[in-house]
Chains A and B, each alone.
Chain A
Amino acid sequence: MDAVHIVTGTAVPLDRSDVDTDQIIPSDWLKQVSRTGFEKGLFSEWRDDRAFVLNREEHAGATILLAGSNFGTGSSREHAVWAIQQYGFQAVVSPRFGDIFRNNAAKNGLVPVVVSAEVSEHLMRAVEADPTLEITIDVERRTLEAPAIGLTAEFPLDDSVRHRFLEGLDDIAITLRRADVIDAYEDTRPTWLPSTA
């Protein structure tokens, strides 16, 4: 994955709670065997509605998705992260994410920004009032800032996850360097554990 330090831009306010991954990308899209082209599937069932927030001109070019609580719950489909990224978002802000989604986001360089319900609400209203509001998410400092409304918030990001964002590291390569400890562990496994062969 590519390194991510700072995401700056405008946001789309998706003011709904419990947006599960089936809503982010419906199952029809999961039949693809490639890793690209999912932007067209993003929120596809809602996008038919012209008034849907993603369709509004004032939000064109946004790089940050503001969402309600429990965003990305449900199915493990990583396609949800791919769709959000391929559409052009680089970060998602929510009071709470589904665990698998949050993990998937981190593995792909999409920044999951957890903020308090108050900060989320404040941002949501501010962006609705002024779609050009500029927001900056700094991965290194773990901060979200919107200077025009005087907002600064910190967000949690594990040290190891932050490190991977900043360096753009590939987890598999890191793990494979420890092949010797994996070998050693394998020698200790009970022999009665099942084999699928």
Chain B
Amino acid sequence: MAQPRTLSEKVWDSHLVAQSEGEPDLLYVDLHLVHEVTSPQAFDGLRLSGRTVRRPDLTVATEDHNVPTTDTHLQIADPVSRTQVETLRANCTEFGVTLHQMNTPGQGIVHIIGPEQGLTLPGMTIVCGDSHTSTHGAFGSLAFGIGTSEVEHVLATQTLPQQPTKTLAITVDGELPAGSTAKDVILAILGRIGTGGGIGHIAEYRGSAIRSLSMEGRMTVCNMSIEAGAKAGMIAPDQITFDYLRGRSHAPTGAAWDDAVAQWESLVTDPDASFDREVRLDGAEIFPHVSWGTNPGQVSPITASVPDPSAFADPVERNAAERALEYMGLAAGTPLTEVAVDTVFIGSCTNGRIEDLRAVAAVAEGRRVSSGLRTLVVPGSWKVKEQAEAEGIDAVLRAAGFDWRDPGCSMCLAMNPDKLVAGERCASTSNRNFEGRQGRGGRTHLVSPAVAAATAIAGHFATPADLAPAGAGA
């Protein structure tokens, strides 16, 4: 009998181009996603050495990190950002790579457009010069972020030398409490294993709480695998996956669809396969979470108070918590629900999909954004934006006082004009609460879309259940 294998090992093995003693494995790359920030030096490298892109038909580019979220029909105002985007355009033309330009129907955040176009399929290997490539693992693909030297390597060879990675099982069983979402699941996992907990591992999320998530929710979970340092995060494909993919523009059709599904059904961890490490969480105890610090492992349930650094036994964690509270301008012992925010950002490749916007609209309907609070709702792609508008979500949000924007990475990393100013506090559905991530001196708290929306209405951290009934007046 064949050796039992985990899901990631199966995908790894099926992409082996070459294997030799003392050398990393050479893996084939099925899809290479490209954006403007991490690619210019790679294309330059190709030019300098007279190389070409081996498989432009397995490569696709988008403009996302630098693009503004207003007036996208105009040129980018910031000349440095504009140069970077124009460089991508010139490179894609020169090397024959398909590009989704700003303000065109296929454009959006790189990790949103792959799945929605059916380019991300189970069992594929997917790379991008972007750490949140782990998002695509929600489909049972092996997807990970790479550096610019590796981008150049993939452009030139469509392969990547890789050292085999350890495996980590993260099992969440049980039913999530009402009001808890996929975002809370991953924040709770990060709270448990910390920012280094996944380093050197490929994570597989398992258990009934994971299986019950929609594809959007699964993408949210896999997206933040990198926040635990994991190389990738994966979820075995199932009927929910197949239903999501059927009919997407690049997904197989007819007999090819049946062949594909037959193959995808084998993409599960064998019952006797073992992982190098296992972690278990009880889904029933995962309540809505808020981050209070400056790394994504520094999180607490929203009902908790800002922790007291002296309560941390580990001196490194204590030190990190002290620094974090100072940067965040928070006093230990303050209930999180009493912390007021200045800005609410809803979007990013973590939570910029249609289901996220529906969750926000459900909270916003019949209510008003707290006065003086700045909000940005940034759909992850044009497709998401168009669908939301078809469903009337934009109208609900506008009526509630939310600012409805054009797609892009936006305030997730503040390379475009959407930035926090120093000291400004933000409830954000993105993935990183690092110092300065959303603008120099800005203070980021990571939350789910539902908590972000409720926080926008209340003016301080809140869950939808904390709000007065809609229409009950201010």
Chain A contacts to B: CB under 8 angstroms:
16-18, 20, 22-23, 26-28, 30-35, 45, 68-70, 73-79, 81, 96-100, 103-104, 107-108, 158-160, 171-172, 174-176, 178, 181-182, 185-186, 189-197
Contacts and interface: CB of A to CB of B under 8 A. Distances in A.
B58 A16 contact: no
B206 interface: no
Nearest to A68: B316
Contacts of A175: 26, 153, 156-157, 159, 161
Given A160-B23, A191-B256, A197 B98 contact: yes
A195 to B, nearest CB: 5
Given A73-B195, A195-B250, 15 more contacts: A16-B323, A17-B316, A18-B295, A23-B434, A27-B437, A33-B87, A34-B40, A99-B199, A100-B147, A104-B150, A108-B149, A192-B252, A194-B121, A195-B57, A196-B56
B428 interface: no
Contact of B415 (A28, A69, A96, A189): A28
A176 B149 contact: no
A160 B316 contact: no
Interface stretch (B30-38, B176-184, B299-307, B449-457): B30-38
Nearest to B316: A17
Given A17-B320, A172-B49, A76 B147 contact: yes
Contact of B440 (A26, A76, A97): A26
23 contacts: A16-B323, A22-B413, A27-B414, A27-B437, A30-B37, A32-B80, A34-B40, A76-B145, A78-B129, A78-B148, A79-B148, A100-B131, A103-B147, A103-B150, A104-B147, A108-B149, A160-B161, A174-B161, A175-B159, A181-B18, A182-B17, A182-B28, A186-B158
A60 to B, nearest CB: 25
A100 B31 contact: no
A192 B229 contact: no
Interface in B235-275: 250-252, 256-257, 259-260, 263
A196 B99 CA distance: 10
Interface in B108-167: 118-119, 121, 124, 129-131, 145-150, 152-153, 156-159, 161, 163
A73 B229 contact: yes
B84 interface: yes
B368 interface: no
A18 B195 contact: yes
Nearest to B263: A190
Contacts of B413: 22, 27, 75
B251 A194 contact: yes
Contact of B57 (A28, A75, A197): A197
Interface string B214-231: 000000000000100101
B22 interface: yes
Contacts of B158: 182, 186
Chain B interface residue count: which class?
A: 35 or more
Contact of B84 (A33, A76, A99, A107): A33
A159 B20 CA distance: 12
B244 to A, nearest CB: 15
B168 to A, nearest CB: 13
A22 B156 contact: no
Contacts of A192: 252, 256-257, 259-260
Contact of A178 (B17, B124, B145): B17
A97 B229 CA distance: 9
B199 A76 contact: no
Contacts of B257: 192
A38 B159 CA distance: 28
B425 interface: no
A45 B435 contact: yes
B44 A20 contact: no
B152 A172 contact: yes
Contacts of A158: 24, 163
B264 to A, nearest CB: 11
Contacts of B24: 158, 160
Contacts of A27: 413-415, 437
A74 to B, nearest CB: 6
Given A22-B435, A45-B436, A190-B260, A185 B147 contact: no
Nearest to A81: B147
Contacts of A77: 37-38, 147
A78 B38 contact: yes
A194 B250 contact: yes
A45 B37 CA distance: 20
B120 to A, nearest CB: 8
The CB with the most chain A CB atoms within 10 A, among B80, B84, B159, B263, is that of B159
Interface string B421-450: 000000000001011110010000000000
Contacts of A191: 256
Contacts of B146: 76, 100, 103
Contacts of A33: 40-41, 44, 83-84, 87
A133 B30 CA distance: 49
A17 B195 CA distance: 10
Contacts of B434: 20, 22-23, 74
The CB with the most chain B CB atoms within 10 A, among A70, A79, A96, A174, is that of A70
A96 to B, nearest CB: 5
Given A98-B199, A100-B146, A172-B157, A20 B251 contact: no
